[in-house]
Amino acid sequence: MTEAVVREHEGVVTHPNGRRVQYGVVGARDFANVIFYSHGFPACRLEASIAHGVARDLGLTVIALDRPGFGGSDWYKTRRIEDWSEDVRLVADTLGVSSFGVLGVSGGTPTAVATAALLTGRVSQLAVVSGVGPMHEPGALEGMHWVNKGLLKTGQYFGTLGELVVGAIAVLWRTVPGAAEVWFSSVLPAADRSIVTRSEVGIVLARNIKEALRPGVRGVMTDFSLLLSDWRELPSKVVVPTTIWHGDEDTYVPLSMAKILHKMIPQSRFEQVKGGGHFMIVDRLRPVLELFA
């Protein structure tokens, strides 16, 4: 993983309206077989650095984009979930990539699903790992840790108050070293603790969150609001091959969400991972990425 951090390549593209999109590239450098990676929440492009070694071995180029307001991508007030597909299109066109897979992780799932739904002529397949599902569906929060459930319920019923609470947490993470680590150690399931306490994972996690929150917390607040929005029409529009991976011990984003997403995406394949927690992708990168190889 430390090698991934050193070897990461980055760039910035600009929309005609002047809005900048920051991206990072890990894995193979030939761009022959490309995956666009949608990072978790709150996070940024640097999250994908964990995939460098495995992606390179499999001949895959992983391109991770900062969502607006995170890292080096500009925030804007009118953002929609669907807009990330245009960011992907812009970066793909700039790099000369005609077709690609899409991988969404955790809170990056809605934008990944939107991209697969809207760029049907260019997306070859979709994979979702530990993914957030539409929260307007009955039972979506079943099995979720009470802290996360409380935050989401606050956002659902009190709108701006929920955004302000999440923004305050992000400020704490941004200003107090180790605050994010304490948070994760408190709310993650036991299945994840042996993963996030590894030194190499800790390095990537700390670097990822620090960069994500570098421009402030507006991106976090907007992302939170969009996660709570009603995006149920998007999964039904996905027609590309789709695989959904989720651990049965994940209480950070519960299994109920994966089951909902599986039901909503036509002909999707569901891989329930026994003993898997929210960060299970760290130990299951190879089988996940092999889907695209």
> In the chain, pLDDT over 70 holds for what percent of residues?
97
pLDDT in tens, 113-162: 999 999 999 999 999 999 999 999 999 999 999 999 999 999 999 989 99
Region 26-36: mean pLDDT is 96
**Chain length of the chain:** 293
pLDDT of residue 8: 63
* Cα–Cα nearest to 253, from 45, 41, 35: 41
The long-range contacts involving 16-20, CB below 8 angstroms and separated by at least 24 positions, are: 19/68, 19/74, 19/76, 20/72, 20/73, 20/74
What HEC string does 2-46 produce?
HHHHHHCEEEEEECCCCCEEEEEEEECCCCCCEEEEECCCCCCHH
pLDDT of residue 4: 38
pLDDT of residue 34: 98
Region 177-185: mean pLDDT is 82
Region 158-170: mean pLDDT is 92
pLDDT of residue 6: 38
Query: For residues 77 and 54, what is the distance between their CA atoms, to the nearest angstrom?
Result: 37
pTM: 0.94
Mean pLDDT over all residues of the chain?
93
Choosing among 3.40.50.720, 1.10.1660.10, 3.40.50.1820, 1.10.10.2520, the CATH entry for 2-290 is 3.40.50.1820
Radius of gyration over every alpha carbon of the chain, rounded to an integer in angstroms: 17
Region 97-112: mean pLDDT is 97
pLDDT of residue 7: 47
pLDDT at 99 over 60: yes
What are the domain boundaries of the chain?
2-290
pLDDT at 203 over 90: no
